[in-house]
Amino acid sequence: MTATGDPILESRDLNVRFATPDGEVHAVRGVDLRVRAGETIAIVGESGSGKSQLMMATMGLLAQNGRTEGSVRFRGQELLGLSARALNRYRGQKLSMIFQEPMTSLDPLYTIGRQIAEPLVHHKGISRAEARPRVLELLKLVGIPEPERRLDSYPHELSGGQRQRAMIAMALANGPEILIADEPTTALDVTIQAQILELLADLQRRLGMAIVFITHDLGIVRDFAERVYVMQEGRVVETGPTAQILARPEHAYTQMLLAAEPEGRKPTVPAGEPLLLEGRDLKVVFRIGGGWLSRVRHEVRAVDGIDLVLREGQTLGVVGESGSGKSTLGRALLRLLPSEGAIRYKGRDLQGQDRAALRPLRRELQLVFQDPFGSLSPRMTVGQIVTEGLLVHEPELSAKERDRRAAQALEEVQLDPLMRNRFPHEFSGGQRQRIAIARAMILKPKLVVLDEPTSALDRSVQKQVLALLRELQAANGLTYIFISHDLAVVRAMADEVLVMKDGRVVERGITEAIYERPHEAYTRALIAAAFRHEARSGVS
Amino acid sequence: MALAQRPAEEPAGAEPQRGRSLWDDAWARLKANRAAVASAALLALMLFACVVGPWLSPHPFDAVYRSYVKVPASLAPYPRAEQIGPSLESALRRARVTLEDWREEGGRVFVTVTSGRAIDPRTTRYLDRANDFSDTRVEEASEDGKRMVFSAEVERLYFLFGTDANGRDLLTRTLIAGRISLTIGLLATLVALFIGVTYGAVSGYLGGRVDTMMMRVVDILYSLPFIFFVILLVVFFGRNFVLMFIAVGAIEWLDMARIVRGQTLSIKRQEYVQAAEALGVGSRGILRRHVVPNTLGPVVIYMTLMVPKVILLESFLSFLGLGVQEPMTSWGVLIAEGARNIQGATWMLTFPSLFLMATLFALNFIGDGLRDALDPKDR
Amino acid sequence: MLSYVARRFFGAVPTLFIIVTVAFFLIRVAPGGPFDLERPLEAKVMENLNRIYQLDKPLWHQYLLYLESLLRGDLGPSFYFRDFSVSELFARGLPISIQLGCAALLLALLVGGLLGVIAALRQNRGTDVAVMATATFGITVPNFVVAPLLTLLFAIWLGWLPAGGWGDGALANKILPILTLALPQIAIIARLTRGSMIEMLRANHIRTARANGLPGYVVVGVHALRGALLPVVSYLGPAAAALLTGSVVIETIFGIPGVGRYFVQGALNRDYTLVMGTVIMIALFIIVFNLIVDLLYAVLDPRVRYD
């Protein structure tokens, strides 16, 4: 269905600037945008492209240091420069918005029912009791289970997906003409993501409002939006019907975004290769509580009896949703967490070795973290960070020699070695992840656990980091354990896959076999959710 | 997002680029904070005045001028013209001679005295002994010695801040008091810093049961009224200047220990510490390279804010009469005296209060500036 | 909830025990005794006094005796105020201190909270800067400076209020002490409220409330303020305990017969029981107010549960 007629929301030459202590940031640069009644548009761009600020400006939600220029009209009425009171005749009534962070976007101190009722109470002038049936209706509409009970629940008693549904219910309370959804599924697990997208599509069919979808994920756009705006550095670089943009992208940036989906497959390692790492009946149990006076002791079995075998040169992909225990498994295998069961590295038992005995082995067993902002010590230079392992494992090296090695290691991860005296905060996310990789690689490890190494990165950067990891593996004969919630990435990187849920292995096998012929329902759901856009667009 | 993928683009042998560390950034931000810079300048001035001032002052801090008890602050010198007469009279009454006439000429007074008996020329000493006059000479004497003319130099004394209830110069005493207060502030802070950082870092890093026990001790100390300790220490060891700041420092470390422990606990959970553990770095290396440098920010901030707290605490104790002993003094002592003499001698309260407040203000602004500089997310 | 309160009180017993023990022995180790006057007493009289007050027994025995009387709820006789027991002294002074403290606390909460909210809403503008400068003033200037300055202004220059004395609780006599007690608290609460309010106003759920077009008073008053109060509440516990147990400075300067001065007087005069009584009283206030704070927390924040 393609909407026609005059646009109901129209921005012309919209500029957003932020005054910061380090100078002015021009976040949105002269954007023209139109939304017609009942249509779905998508604004696509990577982090920092200004796509969120564009809509924040429309809704009058900019931070205090933000200024706008240009014009945004809703049905002819200029919205920019309206007082908060005047703007509130539109916000929550004609225009409403949902956000990326379902965990924090609801007030933790009030019940769901009360919060959903608030837009009704304040815009329609009805009492909270009168609003209750409508709230219940809304909760049913967004598919929250047991809506009567949930009315009186607090946000912390709901799961992430349920909270996002509650957010949507709140946004729909007054039947808006436009719903702005700012990365509404990014913080959710893949299976939940799919459900929320389904819900939004369904609601649009039933209620007929226009949806403005802000996302970094072209996969969602493919299936969902009629028109696309591609944004880069505050500007709209390309716009048009979705099918046309996806099929024949004209701007280089759009082409890059489209090409950024990870590609390639890793060939299987022959069964004859020597065993590197072996885990038998591995268990990690966290005990929560049990202080001085509290008798309540709570046990969480984060990893619950896992066996695995890793041969040299292999990449084992570990996939699962958040809380499945995949990160814990990676840390336990490196003995960074206490665990039960056997861990053998090159036939040697790792369990029962003390810290000193493990130290020489540490250089062969390395770890790369998800968050490149948290994993680099903020007050050390990049050179110091990269060479810290050498202090432990090659203490005889002179400072000069270490410096030379740092330069070499940075070059290996394609960073300018002249930057080795700089500090982590001076680098972008992708650069930082390269530094983290260099820190692991300088020790010439045999096994590297990669814990969501690309999840915090934009797609285009992600692709480059994956390529780097692949090159390093080929050049140094590395073995990887690749932990990720992103099934597309794992498919490109791993030759064997282990699917985890609630600390247990649901399914395992050769990557292609798992992706082509999943046996378990859970695996099928994960794959369907991750690849549903590709699959559908393949059909169409 | 541009990635730096230009290995060895620069000519060979190029110097590595200098990075801007977080400290550099913080320093630049601090220098841009006008209130903090002005406060630092004021504080430097205060320090200089308190250290050097008492040496430059013409009055020793414990010199008593009996004729100038509680004289108001003034830019004009003492004695005032109208005070010379009464002052001469009282000095000469003690000498048992009668003042007949006096006049002032070029900074000297010429005094005509008479007596029923012959006047001993040594009577001049009585004038010298009064602190307004010096260099008294006999200018003329009648034949029978019953009438003499003395001349004496009038001592011009300046009491810019007035004098206290004992007739001591308040300016000198305020500066000397500043020395004591600032020294105690700094030394006690260092004591607190040393104990607090060590205790907190050990507690936080060891964690587990040791941590629980160590923090339990801190909790218990917290619930004891703090002056209890100081009063007991003062009682034990007498009012000793050195012990003063040890006592104060020994209380103030509690907060520092909590802050450092909290920081250590949160840093311990940071991924960069886990990364170091994965590299095989030992406890000492982790503490030295990762934990301590990252606790420094809050510690520095807290330290700047602790100096005024300690000065305040010392003043408070002095106010209660538990501080330094006479004739030594501190701002708290002076303020307490000022409060007692508030009816009629307001300068005794205002000047020491002004000095104390200025110092505390400056320190607070520097502390706030440091916090903004080191922890910029709050702006 | 009740069982939680009971558990908390039960849990406070060991802490209280340790405090009593440490305080008891610390004060006894100090040189001097309660009957060391300027002019030494006759040996016989001294001996009698020591026997009457059981100071002739070994220290550990005295300690046990004291614990025993504590269990009976008896704080013992005062050594310095000979005609009174410690409990009687508290019974006279505590109502006065609590009265002043409560009034100051209430004043501080209202004025400080209001100033903090206003400053947060006008962040980095003139009002904010003015409020924060005033707050820094309030925190910086110690009460023993504020009290005489206020006296100077209102009592001596303007002559509106009496310079001191309790005047049997006349309102005019209470104004200056309450003001002096409240000023630093106003400043601290204003700063705290501003800080947490600013943080709250940036929170995601406030953005949600704005996006839903809720009016400003709802966004600020209903959503931001409740969350912003949490840190203020946890500050109020210890602050209330300190305010209600009197202030030695204010009682000295204004001549108020509260309990704040007993500790210093007791320590200087080696009035063992009075010092011990004061320590126990203060500790009890701290324990009770910390508990109240925790319970208030549970009321304000549904995520906190004590079951």
Same domain as C29, residue C119:
no
Q: What is the mean pLDDT of residues B207-221?
A: 80
pLDDT-derived band at A535 (thresholds 50, 70, 90) equals very low
Give the bridge partners for A16, in sequence order.
A28, A68
In this structure, the answer to whether residues C102 and C35 fall within a common structural domain is no
pLDDT digits (tens, 9 = 90+) for A178-192: 999 998 887 777 778
Measured from the Cβ of residue A224, the count of other Cβ atoms closer than 10 Å reads 21
Q: Which of C145, C271, C288 to mutate to test the interface with B (most CBs of B within 10 A)?
A: C145
Cβ–Cβ pairs < 8 A, chains A and B: 139
Q: Which residues pair with A449 in a beta bridge?
A: A367, A481
With bands split at pLDDT 50, 70 and 90, how would you rate the model's confidence at B10? very low
- The region of weakest confidence among A150-154, B231-235, B330-334 is B231-235
pLDDT at position A322: 79
What pLDDT does C109 receive?
Answer: 92
Q: What is the DSSP string of B253-308?
A: HHHHHHHHHHHHHHHHTSHHHHHHHHHT--HHHIIIIIIHHHHHHHHHHHHHHHHH
C54 shares its domain with C201: no
Q: Which residues lie closer than 8 Å to C71 by C-beta, 6 or more apart?
A: none
Q: Tens digits of per-residue pLDDT, A69-107?
A: 999 999 888 988 888 888 888 898 889 999 888 778 898
Identify residues of A whose CB sits under 8 angstroms from chain C CBs: 59-61, 63-64, 84-85, 87-93, 96-97, 99, 101, 104-110, 118-119, 122-123, 154, 156, 167, 170-171, 173, 292-293
Q: Is residue C60 part of a domain?
A: yes
Check if the beta carbon of residue A494 is closer than 8 Å to that of residue A509: no
Q: Using one digit for the tens of pLDDT, what is the confidence trace for A157-170?
A: 888 888 888 999 99
Quote the radius of gyration of chain C (alpha carbons, Å): 24
Q: Of the segments A49-58, A353-362, C132-141, C166-175, which one has the largest average pLDDT value?
A: A49-58
- Among residues C44, C71, C98, the one where a domain terminates is C71
Q: Does residue C174 carry a pLDDT above 60?
A: yes
Query: Are C229 and C120 found together in one domain?
Result: yes
- Cβ-proximal residues to A121 (8 Å cutoff; 6+ apart), any chain: A127, A128, A131
Query: How many whole angstroms separate alpha carbon A97 and alpha carbon A171?
Result: 6
**Is residue C17 one of the residues assigned to a domain?**
yes
In a domain, C306, yes or no: no
d(CA B40, CA B159): 28
Give the model's pLDDT for residue B226: 63
Q: Is the pLDDT of residue A297 over 50?
A: yes
Contact indicator for A142, A98 with CB cutoff of 8 Å: no
Provide the number of structural domains found in chain C.
Answer: 2
Shared domain for C149 and C274, answered yes or no, is: yes
Mean local confidence (pLDDT), C126-155: 83
**Domain with C208 in it: what CATH number?**
1.10.3720.10
Distance CA(B357)–CA(B346), nearest Å, equals 16
Contact criterion met (CB below 8 Å) for C216 and C140: no
Hey, which chains touch C, using 3+ CB pairs under 8 Å?
Answer: A, B
Q: Which of A90, A92, A99 sits opposite C207 (nearest CB)?
A: A99
| pLDDT band, very low/low/confident/very high, at A447 (cuts 50, 70, 90) | very high
- Structural domain includes residue C9: yes
| Residue that is last in its domain, among C29, C44, C71 | C71
Residue of chain A with shortest Cα separation from B290:
A377
Question: Is the residue at C305 inside a domain?
Answer: no
Q: Are residues C51 and C103 in the same domain?
A: no
Mutate which of A58, A105, A177, A296 to test chain C, going by most C C-beta atoms within 10 A? A105
Please indicate, yes or no, if residue C83 is contained in any of the structural domains: no
**Which residue does chain A place closest to C303, by CA atoms?**
A156
So what's the pLDDT on residue A291?
Answer: 46
Q: Is residue C82 part of a domain?
A: no
- Do C267 and C213 belong to one domain? yes
Residues 202-231 of C with CB under 8 A from A: 202-205, 207-216, 218, 222-223, 226-227
Q: Higher pLDDT residue, A17 or A2?
A: A17
**Average pLDDT in the B147-174 region?**
78
Whether the model pTM is above 0.90: no
pLDDT, mean of residues C244-254:
84
- Kindly list the distances between the CA atom of residue C256 and the CA atoms of B191, B225, C251, in Å, as whole numbers in the listed order: 36, 21, 5
**What's the mean pLDDT when you consider all of chain B?**
77
CB A248 within 8 A of CB A491: no
Residues of C with CB under 8 A from a CB of B: 15, 18-19, 22-23, 26-27, 29-32, 136-137, 139-142, 144-145, 147-149, 151-152, 156, 195, 198, 248-249, 252-253, 263-264, 267-268, 275, 278-279, 282-283, 286-287
Question: Is residue C107 predicted with pLDDT exceeding 90?
Answer: yes
Note whether C212 and C93 are same-domain residues. yes
Whether residue C147 and residue B361 make contact (CB cut-off 8 A), yes or no, is: no
Same domain, C225 and C182: yes
Nearest CA among C163, C144, C165, C143 for reference residue C153: C163
Contacts of A331 (CB under 8 A, 6+ apart): A337, A367, A449, A451, B274
Clarify whether residues C194 and C252 are in a common domain. yes
Name which residue leads in pLDDT, A479 or A192.
Answer: A479
Q: Edge to edge, what strands does the sheet with A315-319 contain?
A: A365-368, A447-451, A479-484, A315-319, A496-501, A504-510
Same-domain pairing of C149 and C43: no
The per-residue pLDDT of chain C, averaged, comes to 83
ipTM: 0.76
Beta bridge partner(s), residue A504 = A501
Is the CB of residue B181 less than 8 Å from the CB of residue B334? no
Q: Which of A185-194, A263-272, B10-19, C176-185 has the lowest mean pLDDT?
A: B10-19
What range does the domain containing C213 cover? 89-300
Q: What percentage of chain B has pLDDT greater than the value 70?
A: 87
Q: What is the pLDDT of residue A43?
A: 92
Rg value, chain B, Cα? 31
H/E run at residue A224: helix A218-224
Nearest of A448, A339, A314 to residue A389 by alpha carbon:
A448
The stretches of A252-397 forming alpha helices (DSSP H) are: 252-259, 326-333, 355-362, 382-393
Q: Is the pLDDT of residue C307 over 60?
A: no
B 88-127 → C contacts, CB under 8 A: none
Phi, psi of A287 (to 5 degrees): -105, 125
C-beta of residue A502 within 8 angstroms of C-beta of residue A322:
no
How is residue B168 written in tokens?
């001591």
Asked if A426 lies within 8 A of B19 by C-beta distance, the reply is yes
Residue of A nearest to C298 (CA): A109
Q: Whole-angstrom Cα distance, residue B42 to residue B358?
A: 8
* Chain B: closest CA distance from residue A411 (Å): 6
Among A84, A92, A109, the residue with its CB nearest the CB of C212 is: A92
Of C227, C302, C215, residue with least CA distance to A152: C302
Of C145, C152, C282, the CB nearest to B335: C145
Instruction: Give residue for tokens 């030379």.
Output: A404
Q: Find the mean pLDDT for residues C104-117.
A: 92
How do beta strands A275-289 and A340-345 pair? antiparallel
> Is residue B76 within 8 angstroms of chain A, CB to CB?
no
DSSP letter assigned to residue A78: E
- Tell which of C41, C71, C101 closes a domain: C71
Does residue C37 have a pLDDT over 80?
A: no
Whether pLDDT at B156 is above 70? yes
CA A207 – CA A178 distance, rounded (Å): 11
C76 pLDDT above the threshold of 70: yes
Nearest residue to A237 (alpha-carbon basis) of A441, A96, A31, A493: A31
In tens, the pLDDT along B261-320 reads: 888 888 887 888 888 888 888 888 888 888 878 887 778 778 877 888 888 887 787 777
Residue C228 counted as domain residue: yes
User: Which tokens hold the place of C43?
Assistant: 């040996």
Q: What is the mean pLDDT of residues A504-527?
A: 88
Maximum average pLDDT range among A371-375, A533-537, C204-208, C265-269: C204-208
> What subunits make at least 3 CB pairs under 8 angstroms with A?
B, C
pLDDT of residue A503: 87
Q: Inform me whether the pLDDT recorded for A49 exceeds 80.
A: yes
Q: Tell me whether strands A178-182 and A95-98 are parallel, antiparallel or unpaired.
A: parallel
Q: What is the pLDDT of residue A479?
A: 92
Phi and psi for C229 in degrees, rounded to 5?
A: -75, -20
> Token pair of A535, please?
């699959």
**pLDDT for residue A340 is more than 50:** yes
Helices (H) and strands (E) in chain A, counts: 19, 20
* pLDDT above 90: residue B46: no
Flag if C205 and A88 touch (Cβ within 8 Å): no
Residues of A in contact with B22 (CB under 8 A): 378-379, 423, 425
What are the CA-CA distances from residue A479 to residues A344, A474, B160, B278 (Å)?
Answer: 15, 10, 81, 16
**C223 and C151 part of one domain:** yes
